[in-house]
Structure 1
Amino acid sequence: MSDQACDCCRSTTVRTTEPASHDRWLVGRPVRDAPLPQAVGRNVGRLLGEEPVDTLAGFVVAIRDATGGGSLAVDDLCHAATETPHRAAMDGEGYFFQCFYDGVALAHLADESVEIRTESPAGEPVEMRASPDGTVDVTPPDAAVSFGVAADGDAPRSADPTPEEVYGAICPYVKAFPSREAYDRWAESIDVATVGLPLAAGVPIAAALAE
């Protein structure tokens, strides 16, 4: 997918009201079954024209169903024609992407080890090495990842959103951070409900969206 075709990384909305009081950090294990904050689940349901979801597992199933359930290919990812903060290297070849999520998806789709480098919204570097056996090494070790869906005012209102609309509502809120504290600062600054978890635990969730 070319950078011209991708509208998945529009800017996030800066918060103009007080942050929500819910706990944004997933603490349950496995994380797929940990309860989502209600606001996140409601936004997923509204985006898809369905009932709210209550876990990350439900989040993945709902998104996959809404986008047709087919597997992505490397060419389907949001490649960038110029340098971006989101880059990956595999088998001697480099890639630049519109979003951090695309590098994670590449790691899932490839049969080779993939080196991923991205930046948090504050410009802090986060690096990850994903191996074909599922091993994930992250730097810094306390790095975090976020998931979310565009707020009510931004989410598509169609009862049958296109895959582009769905990913366009999700990708701006799949971000990497050097720590939970960095995630919390960002989450408090935007008007969209998100959830955070350790990056190593979140990679399989992001990868499942590409299966």
Structure 2
Amino acid sequence: MTHKILIVEDEENIAEVLIAYSQQQGFSTEYFNSGKGVVNFVKHNPVDLILLDLMLPEVDGITVCKEIRAFSSVPIIMVTAKSEEIDKLEGLNLGADDYICKPFSPKEVIARIQAVLRRVNKPTANIIRQSGFEVHKEDYVALLNGKDIGFTAVEFKIFLLFLSQAGRVFTREDIINTLYNQALDMSDRNIDNHIKNIRKKINQVEEGLNPISAVYGVGYKFKAT
């Protein structure tokens, strides 16, 4: 299957490189040098991913992204040149799947494209979605509102256990037995530290959110919202 990439970039030299590298990887491409007409094109033409520059003439990338998200979940990778723009991206709920900063290596862009396509095309049996969280079992990736939480492998396994059975109370022994099959000398304190780190990383993405609650004298559970 050939994936079609829509490249929206006003700098001609950058667009030429992106088009060339994309086609070398077997992708077909469509190209716009401004934001004008992009939304209408996406409405009437199937594309598999959009590389969307933030600063565009006529219609900016933020507006284009918002308008596309009103009717489509096509993957969008935003392209930005300034640190202030990155702050703006992170502060807005645009619905973009990823962003990349100029200057960049074309190989890095291709790697990002391939990663996003793998993620969105992965069988849903390998993905758990719950209360704003999205966990990709095979990739050891946990997202909160589209942003990578950054769990370690052990933290990911613990969080996956909670998320897969939301509402169930797990004792520390349950967690140890499930994750380690008693092969490692894990203690209750180790588990408590992992839970603490999981909560901290979730809070770094969304301040004040605490979906894992302690059940006094028993263990922990995930609270679905």
Q: Which has the higher contact order (CA 8 A, sep 6+)?
A: 1
TM-score by length of 1: 0.27
Q: TM-score, normalised by structure 2?
A: 0.26
